[in-house]
């Protein structure tokens, strides 16, 4: 038996979350994330710079220390730039959205 078609009930209205609730949720916000990773990048760069000075003055005991520090700084810089590019791309995508 085919059941009869029932009448359409009231459509559920999409609930829009209150903006206040969204900003009040605790957690890592994007700005804090960026500033933290920038601080880490800064630390890596200064370690690398200190070792470069040591290499120039002849105080460097381990050659690989400088190479590792500069490589770490380079990878971290690439990572930060990649994150920044992604964020800017996402922002531009939103700005291009048709209203």
Partner 1 sequence: MGMFDAINNAGSGLVVYRKWLDAVSDNVSNINDVSPTSGPAFQARYVVAQAQDYGNAGGAKVGGIELGSAEGRLVYQPDNPLADKDGNVRVPDIDLADQMGQLIIAQRAYQANLSVVQRAQDAYQAALGLGK
Residues that bind partner 1 (CB under 8 A): 40, 62, 64-65, 67-68, 71-72, 75-76, 78-79, 82
Shortest separation between residue 64's beta carbon and partner 1, angstroms: 5
For partner 1, which is the closer residue by CB, 34 or 68? Answer: 68
Alpha-carbon distance of 19 to 14, in angstroms, equals 15
Q: Are 45 and 73 in contact (CB under 8 A)?
A: yes
Alpha-carbon distance of 68 to 76, in angstroms, equals 12
Shortest separation between residue 13's beta carbon and partner 1, angstroms: 37
């Amino acid at each position: 038996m085919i059941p009869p078609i029932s009448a359409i009930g009231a459509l559920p209205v999409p609930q829009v979350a209150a903006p206040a609730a969204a900003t009040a949720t605790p957690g890592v916000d994007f700005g804090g994330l960026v500033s933290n990773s920038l601080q880490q990048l800064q630390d890596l760069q200064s370690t690398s710079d200190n070792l470069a000075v040591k290499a120039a003055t002849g105080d460097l005991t381990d050659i690989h220390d400088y190479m590792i520090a500069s490589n770490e700084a380079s990878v971290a810089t690439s990572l930060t730039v990649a994150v920044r590019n992604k964020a800017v791309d996402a922002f531009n995508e939103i700005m291009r959205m048709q209203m």
